[in-house]
Amino acid sequence: MGLLDILFGKPLASGEERTEQLGTLSGVPIFGLDALGSAAYGPEAALTLLLPLGAVGIHYIVPISAAIIILLGIVYFSYRQTIAAYPGGGGSYIVASQNLGDRAGLLAGTALMIDYVLVVAVGIAAGVGALVSAVPVLQAHTLAICVLILFVICFVNLRGIRTTGILFMFPTYLFVACLLTTLSFGFFKALLAGWHPIPAVAAPAPGTAHQAAGAWLFLRSFASGCTAMTGVEAVSNGVQSFRDPKVKHARRTLSVIIFILVLFLAGIACLCRAYQIGATQPGEVGYQSVLSQLTAAVVGRSWFYYVTIASILMVLVLQANTAFADFPRVCRAIAQDRYLPYSFISRGRRLVYSHGIYVLTLLSAALLIAFRGVTDRLIPLFAVGAFLAFTLSQAGMVAHWKRTGGAHAKHSMLINGLGALATAITVLIVIVSKFLEGAWITLIAIPGILFLMRAVRRHYDRAGRELASPFPLPTNNLCPPFVVVPIDGWNKVTQKALRFALTLSPDVFAVQVQTSDEPQDLAKDWKTLVENPTQQARLPVPKLKVLSSPYRTVIHPTVEYIHRLERENPDRAIAVVIPQLVEQHWYERFLHRQRSELLTALLLLESEPRINIINVPWHLCT
Amino acid sequence: MGLLDILFGKPLASGEERTEQLGTLSGVPIFGLDALGSAAYGPEAALTLLLPLGAVGIHYIVPISAAIIILLGIVYFSYRQTIAAYPGGGGSYIVASQNLGDRAGLLAGTALMIDYVLVVAVGIAAGVGALVSAVPVLQAHTLAICVLILFVICFVNLRGIRTTGILFMFPTYLFVACLLTTLSFGFFKALLAGWHPIPAVAAPAPGTAHQAAGAWLFLRSFASGCTAMTGVEAVSNGVQSFRDPKVKHARRTLSVIIFILVLFLAGIACLCRAYQIGATQPGEVGYQSVLSQLTAAVVGRSWFYYVTIASILMVLVLQANTAFADFPRVCRAIAQDRYLPYSFISRGRRLVYSHGIYVLTLLSAALLIAFRGVTDRLIPLFAVGAFLAFTLSQAGMVAHWKRTGGAHAKHSMLINGLGALATAITVLIVIVSKFLEGAWITLIAIPGILFLMRAVRRHYDRAGRELASPFPLPTNNLCPPFVVVPIDGWNKVTQKALRFALTLSPDVFAVQVQTSDEPQDLAKDWKTLVENPTQQARLPVPKLKVLSSPYRTVIHPTVEYIHRLERENPDRAIAVVIPQLVEQHWYERFLHRQRSELLTALLLLESEPRINIINVPWHLCT
């Protein structure tokens, strides 16, 4: 355990949990990184789709961002209500399943799980995108850097949430400070220049597709830009992680996050138009992120530029951490309803749900590798899950208010209903406009995961019915088992096993398998070695059965003998005493035939309920 | 077992072994492929070293080949005597260990094992060399083809030796026929042309190192050429595989093999000189094997050329098969003296020693990959092992005749002594002249393997002493064990385990671990569920112990409790009854916590000799 302690910290007792809780100041980095970090790739995703329009396209970013901000406002008010109504943690899964039924809940849970995997993948990919904008020589190693960062995050999270809260506070506030400074400074510079500042980079050439700038392109750009909103549900998911009063702290945290995000989106859109900054071709040499261009345009490639890029890198990379806090929680909630394996319920040594962390790491690593760590290729998969969860959660809240009633029920229903409608429309826009570019993957994954979860639940239900027994212990038909001892020669291991067998039952059968490769036969010495001493001690006398094996396998004749004995004695349990040599060093295992392990495994896997296996170990001292 | 039957054939009973035996006609392919195939790379290896001399160097191949043929003759007569003296199989390992002691035997065994690995690697590499000579476009895929062929051979050998005998007979005799035809046809063509036929390929340019053609180059070329002799010991190793009379069949097989090999070596040397055929740069584009050049020179690139190359490819590739027949036999002989793990002794389903086949495949695959499948890079490693084994075997025979005496003992000693002397000198030449080019690898591997084998023997000796017991079964201190039943809730699995525990001993302890994640507590219901019914049935009453676990692990408190119970009762054995859920499908294992497996493993690995483990399985029907 020494190594585990050093790596992951000492184990935390269940009672130490209260020390792991959050206030507003520490809540913003934990639950806000996702939403705030989105500002670094949302506007860029929208601008990338406007690339074919060239310089003209950049103008459209302002109305698109305005639409996104309006949507964000609707969602904000909707989630404020969820936090109040579900102080124990109102994730989309819980809200949807409690108010719309199990099916809707499972759908929401699935959508969230997919969303979190993509938060991790996109966050890391965009962060590394910022890094290679500042240090172009690293561009060739994009994927390797992405995977390395992923594993570091996984490791930090296995140590527990409080450590991560402290670790992530500084970069978040640095990022907010840097970006707000850049935006305000840029704003004043533009104002002084009569709102027509000279572009710091060469303006992009006019595009070749002016005529295509219709509603379709606008919709697709909006769908991509909506990824800027992902993560705003995080606070409502984790209300139970806040200090008391939980609801107040959670709501205040959400307000701070949304306020900053709106400033970011509005500022980026206006300055991009003012400074004529568009996207560059993603995944290609010469790629530069929009925020990198913007910062360079405002402050030049000064030390401030590098600090800003560093804070963007840190925040985008650590945004993945939001998912690492929430994904295991969603898995746990689903597992508690027995739609996922039990192991997602247990907390590990450091009070974190280790299994959820492992699964999230594996899935997002797969995504990063499949899409070579390029943000723009991941974006089309992204928004479906997030907005589907939004919709179900808010539709669930409508049902909640309808059910609970109360003074402000009508008013609350209206707010949540508006949220549900707006996000539902967005889901449709995203699916239709991004279908071929990757949304289809999400649309296939959702029913696949739903099917698996239902299968898990079915298995648990059936197993539960099979095993359940409210009755007291049945005491009929209890008599000692027939004990079978497979032996391969006369030595201390055999003797120990035989002695143990004699303490268990009066019916002991020793079995030896004779092959042409191992011709030893105990029959001729059995009388002196075993029968005489047991008779003298008035003990039951073990019988010896020597089996021959034409095919030289020792295991199968033994198993056959045991099965025959079982068939011939339908009223008795069988206990197979397996002498087992335990080596001191793992490499010594190659030196001894692992027959006892093989026999144990074979007997356990055969569905014979009356056969029990007894391992009598002999620990080699040499 | 269905799939195994289709892949490897039905299992063979030990009694079916006689049908697997060989005559002269079938013995030549099995035991002669190695020796005969050597003709395809031995002369070429000698010629490659003469490359710097250019056209002049080719003339030296005749005296070098003559020296090799003389050595071959000495070794032939020496091995004829070994076959007669050891009709049960007189491999170098057996002869050396019986006559020169264990150390010499082990050294011989090690040398042989290394030799066989190289036979496989060199055979396949040279075969693929012939292939890429005829089809140059395949040269880039040399290594991949080598590895593919290796796995096919491994597979064929896992099916058993008789199948392989038939499979390999046709290509061997085709190869002999093709090569003898080419050589005689070439000989007559040269004779008709007044022994100065026009070279079919452009004569190589005169070399740049005429002055270096001294004794050193001659020795190195001889050392490389000696690889043509590897494999002649195969027959003496496998005398027991022949039909009765074994000695006669084995000797006749050896004579046929040596006779053909001498014809090959002499013919190739003379025709290379006559047709001015030298080696080409190995491992480079434009490489062409010597036999390919020779055949093309004699018959042109006709259909006969391609048939010959195909037969060379097949024979060289299948030469590896000799090693696949012999390597497992050597391992078995060494394992019977307990210097290698027991598993090399047992024969598998098809009467072959499967473990030896697996190990040989792995090692030769490693060599092929490390040397990129280029024959010339493997040659320097090759001859050391083979000639070391020759020397030890023949020195052993000298000691044998000295010990047994008899009418012709003096005469036999002389022949074997001459063999030992000649091969010992060759070993020295090979080591000195090839040290830097790779012989050093063999010289490091030999002591390494010897060390491992001694360590294995030491372990077996110590374990044997620890476990040995010639005494009858001790019958003192036999009383029922304390039975511990770890339970996690009240269900049919728990009930079954408790019921089984009650049949074993009057002292049954149920243990439940309570964690904050699993707060169920059986204590309040224990009286109605267990105590009352057992009291009414006049059975021993199981006691319940509820343990709390602040760190949420269920396993460790259980293990600690068991150890405490053991310490407090130093005179009693402990039996831990572990209820175990057995799932119907492997993937269902992910759905249940594998606590019983973990607990079993932990308890077995802790060195507590009085703790025994009882698995009571519950086979899920769902």
Lowest mean pLDDT among A302-306, B4-8, B18-22, B561-565: B4-8
- Indicate the residue among B428, B462, B496 that finishes a domain: B462
- The helix-helix angle for B102-134 and B24-38 (nearest 10°) equals 80
Helix residue ranges, H only, B484-621? 492-504, 526, 532-536, 555-568, 595-605
Q: What is the mean pLDDT of residues B298-307?
A: 89
Contact yes or no for B622 and A349 at CB 8 A: no
**Per-residue pLDDT reduced to its tens digit, B163-182:** 556 667 888 889 999 999 99
Percent helix, strand, coil in chain B, to 5, is 70, 5, 25
Contact yes or no for A615 and B600 at CB 8 A: yes
Task: Search chain A and give the residue with CA nearest B460.
Answer: A591
Partner residue facing A502 (CB), from B14, B478, B614: B478
Contact yes or no for A537 and B475 at CB 8 A: yes
Residues of A in contact with B609 (CB under 8 A): 617-619
Considering the domain architecture, whether residues A572 and A487 belong to the same structural domain is answered as yes
- Per-chain mean pLDDT for chain B: 84
Contact yes or no for B618 and A342 at CB 8 A: no
Q: B415 to chain A, minimum CA–CA distance in Å?
A: 37
Specify the number of domains making up chain A: 2
Q: What is the mean pLDDT of residues B585-607?
A: 77
Instruction: Look at chain A and count its residues.
Output: 622
**Quick one: which H or E segment has residue B513?**
strand B508-514
Task: Search chain A and give the residue with CA nearest B332.
Answer: A517
B478 and A503 Cβ atoms separated by less than 8 Å: yes
B136: phi then psi, degrees, rounded to nearest 5 = -55, -20
ipTM: 0.72
Q: Is the pLDDT of residue B501 over 70?
A: yes
Burial-class residue B547 by CB neighbours within 10 Å (0-12, 13-18, 19+). middle
- Residue A193: the pLDDT is 80
Contact yes or no for A473 and B498 at CB 8 A: yes
Residue A476 lies in a domain: no
- Indicate the residue among A403, A430, A461 that finishes a domain: A461
Q: How confident is the model at residue B285 (pLDDT cuts 50, 70, 90)?
A: confident
The distance of Cα B597 from the centroid of its chain, to the nearest Å, equals: 34
Q: What is the mean pLDDT of residues B11-19?
A: 51
Residue of A500, A608, A612, A620 to mutate, interface with B, max B Cβ within 10 Å: A612
- Residue A491: the pLDDT is 87
Considering the domain architecture, whether residues A489 and A437 belong to the same structural domain is answered as no
Residues ≥6 apart with Cβ < 8 Å to A567:
none
Tell me how far apart the terminal alpha carbons of chain B are, to the nearest angstrom: 25
Partner residue facing B617 (CB), from A13, A592, A604: A604
Q: B452 to chain A, minimum CA–CA distance in Å?
A: 12
Partner residue facing B473 (CB), from A342, A498, A611: A498
CA distance B177 to B538: 88
Contact yes or no for A500 and B573 at CB 8 A: yes
Residue A470 lies in a domain: no
Residues of B in contact with A544 (CB under 8 A): none
Contact yes or no for A550 and B15 at CB 8 A: yes
Residue A362 lies in a domain: yes
Considering the domain architecture, whether residues A497 and A418 belong to the same structural domain is answered as no
Q: A501 to chain B, minimum CA–CA distance in Å?
A: 10
Considering the domain architecture, whether residues A445 and A587 belong to the same structural domain is answered as no
Q: How far is CA A462 from CA A468, A609, B259, B285, B620, in A?
A: 10, 18, 75, 66, 9
Q: What percent of chain B shows pLDDT beyond 90?
A: 23
Q: What is the mean pLDDT of residues B395-403?
A: 90
Considering the domain architecture, whether residues B418 and B516 belong to the same structural domain is answered as no
CA distance A164 to A153: 9
Considering the domain architecture, whether residues A137 and A169 belong to the same structural domain is answered as yes
Q: B113 to chain A, minimum CA–CA distance in Å?
A: 19
Half-sphere exposure of A395 (CA within 13 A, CB side): 20
**Per-residue pLDDT reduced to its tens digit, B195-204:** 666 655 554 5
Contact yes or no for B495 and A469 at CB 8 A: yes
3-class SS letters over A179-229: HHHHHHHHHHHHHHCCCCCCCCCCCCCCCCCHHHCCHHHHHHHHHHHHHHH
Q: How far is CA A521 from CA A511, A546, B228, B345, B451, in A?
A: 11, 8, 48, 18, 34
Considering the domain architecture, whether residues A262 and A348 belong to the same structural domain is answered as yes
Residues of B in contact with A500 (CB under 8 A): 481, 573, 612
Count of C-beta atoms within a 10 Å radius of residue B129: 31
- Residue B7: the pLDDT is 53
Q: Is the pLDDT of residue B558 over 80?
A: yes
Q: How confident is the model at residue B617 (pLDDT cuts 50, 70, 90)?
A: confident
Q: What is the CA radius of gyration of chain A?
A: 33
Residues of B in contact with A498 (CB under 8 A): 473
Contact yes or no for A466 and B534 at CB 8 A: no
Considering the domain architecture, whether residues A423 and A512 belong to the same structural domain is answered as no
Residue of A334, A466, A473, A475 to mutate, interface with B, max B Cβ within 10 Å: A473
CATH number of the domain that residue B302 is part of = 1.20.1740.10
Q: What is the CA radius of gyration of chain B?
A: 33
Residues of A in contact with B345 (CB under 8 A): 517
Residue B506 lies in a domain: yes
Lowest mean pLDDT among A316-320, B135-139, B421-425: A316-320
Q: Is the pLDDT of residue B221 over 50?
A: yes
Residue whose C-alpha is closest to residue B296's, from B136, B121, B173, B172: B136
Residue A208 lies in a domain: yes
- Indicate the residue among A461, A493, A515 that finishes a domain: A461
Residue of B460, B548, B549, B551 to mutate, interface with A, max A Cβ within 10 Å: B551
Query: Which residue stretches of chain A have pLDDT < 50?
Result: 1, 15-19, 203, 211
- The helix-helix angle for A102-134 and A354-370 (nearest 10°) equals 60
Q: What percent of chain B shows pLDDT beyond 70?
A: 90
CA distance B551 to B530: 29
CA distance B440 to A332: 60
B100 and B401 Cβ atoms separated by less than 8 Å: no
CATH number of the domain that residue A523 is part of = 3.40.50.620
Contact yes or no for A473 and B503 at CB 8 A: no
Contact yes or no for B590 and A341 at CB 8 A: yes
**Per-residue pLDDT reduced to its tens digit, B50-92:** 888 877 788 888 899 999 999 999 999 989 988 988 887 777 8
CA distance A341 to A323: 20
Contact yes or no for A480 and B460 at CB 8 A: no
Count of C-beta atoms within a 10 Å radius of residue A585: 9
- Which residue type sits at A226? C
Residue A466 lies in a domain: no
Residues of B in contact with A491 (CB under 8 A): 467-469
Residue B576 lies in a domain: yes
Contact yes or no for A14 and B536 at CB 8 A: no
Residues of A in contact with B529 (CB under 8 A): 472-473
- Residue B60: the pLDDT is 87
Residue B254 lies in a domain: yes
- Residue A260: the pLDDT is 94
B162 and B415 Cβ atoms separated by less than 8 Å: no
**DSSP character string of B291-311:** HHHHHHHHH-SSHHHHHHHHH
Considering the domain architecture, whether residues A509 and A593 belong to the same structural domain is answered as yes
- Residue A236: the pLDDT is 85
Lowest mean pLDDT among A10-24, A104-118, B256-270, B289-303: A10-24
Task: Search chain B and give the residue with CA nearest A464.
Answer: B491
Range of the domain at B507: 482-619
Q: How many CB pairs under 8 A join A and B?
A: 225
- Residue A18: the pLDDT is 46
Considering the domain architecture, whether residues B203 and B270 belong to the same structural domain is answered as yes
Instruction: Look at chain B and count its residues.
Output: 622
Residues of B in contact with A515 (CB under 8 A): 14
Q: What is the mean pLDDT of residues B135-153?
A: 88
Considering the domain architecture, whether residues A179 and A98 belong to the same structural domain is answered as yes
- Residue B1: the pLDDT is 42
Considering the domain architecture, whether residues B507 and B455 belong to the same structural domain is answered as no
